[in-house]
Amino acid sequence: MNRQRGLSSLGLVLLLLILGSMTLTGLGLELDAFTHSVASESLTLQRQTALQSALEWGRVQQWQAGAPLECRQAPQGQVCLRQLDKGRVVLIAQAGDTLLWRIGEQQKEQVRFSPHGWSDFCPLKEKTLCQIP
């Protein structure tokens, strides 16, 4: 009878070890997925910050009056100012495959941008005007 109790105790310990290792394996997989998600989000935030920085860099540049399209290489990406009709302009910043836009107006030799900030979608009806060549 004592022998049977020892065998059932050993079986219970083995069962606990198996359940514990399965739980730890599942938690490890979940941690790996969470780590990948956090790394991906961090990279996205870094790219978005660089893009916003490039757009702000372009906003404070002195652009040529009347040039239909003028592009410059910012430290964080490429920035272009496109002249539209009626003195309107659009500032386009590109880093990688992501774009940001900001609408403004040409006033004499100076460009004044909208105080409402940037847009992460094309603010124009004609989508080709929102692209950098």
pLDDT digits (tens, 9 = 90+) for 21-58: 999 999 999 999 999 999 999 998 998 999 999 999 99
User: pLDDT-based confidence at 1, cuts 50/70/90?
Assistant: very low
What's the pLDDT tens digit per position in 101-126? 999 998 877 888 888 878 888 888 88
Classify 65 in phi/psi space as left (phi over 0), alpha (psi -120 to 50) or beta. Answer: beta
Tell me, rounded to whole angstroms, the distance of Cα 62 from its chain centroid.
27
User: pLDDT-based confidence at 3, cuts 50/70/90?
Assistant: low
The pLDDT of residue 132 is: 83
β-pairing, 88-95 vs 77-83, is antiparallel
- How much is the pTM? 0.72
What's the pLDDT tens digit per position in 56-70? 999 999 888 778 999
In the beta sheet, which residues pair with residue 89?
83, 104
Closest CA to 51 of 120, 112, 104: 120
The pLDDT of residue 120 is: 83
